[in-house]
Amino acid sequence: MNIILIGPPGAGKGTQARILEEERGMVQLSTGDMLREARTSGTEMGKKVADIMDSGGLVTDEIVVGLIEEKLQSAEGDGFIFDGFPRTLAQAAALDDLLRANKQELGAVVEMKVDDDALVARITARSTCANCGEVYND
């Protein structure tokens, strides 16, 4: 089964995705993680991502979809959890095409709603490792 988790930063998408990974053998595809990984990879794509991010720009749908496509073709597990993807209609259409091409279906879209005060509290309690970019909830 493939699942899309949507919701604001701090809603717990990453936390729930990790639980599904551990308990169901699914593979989490977090666009944020993939972009950070690409940025430091030293590949041509990584250099392109780094240039865009360093200039404060938004990474194109084409690049994000390309990263997702790579992971869909290389990762093994009992389905995928899409965290932070799709964000645009173009990305949603591309995901539909990618799943169809890989003979897969979307099983569920889960919207995570959290009170604004709780979101602020969660986000302000976060810290990020300066070396690896890992996010920790204090």
Whole-prediction pTM = 0.81
Tell me the domain boundaries of the chain.
3-137
Summarize pLDDT for 63-79 with one digit per residue, the tens: 999 999 988 988 788 89
Average pLDDT, the chain: 90
Summarize pLDDT for 19-64 with one digit per residue, the tens: 999 999 999 999 988 998 998 898 888 999 999 999 999 999 999 9
At the topology level of CATH, where does 3-137 sit? Rossmann fold (3.40.50)
Query: Alpha carbon of 6 to those of 33, 73, 113, 117: distances in Å?
Result: 16, 23, 9, 18
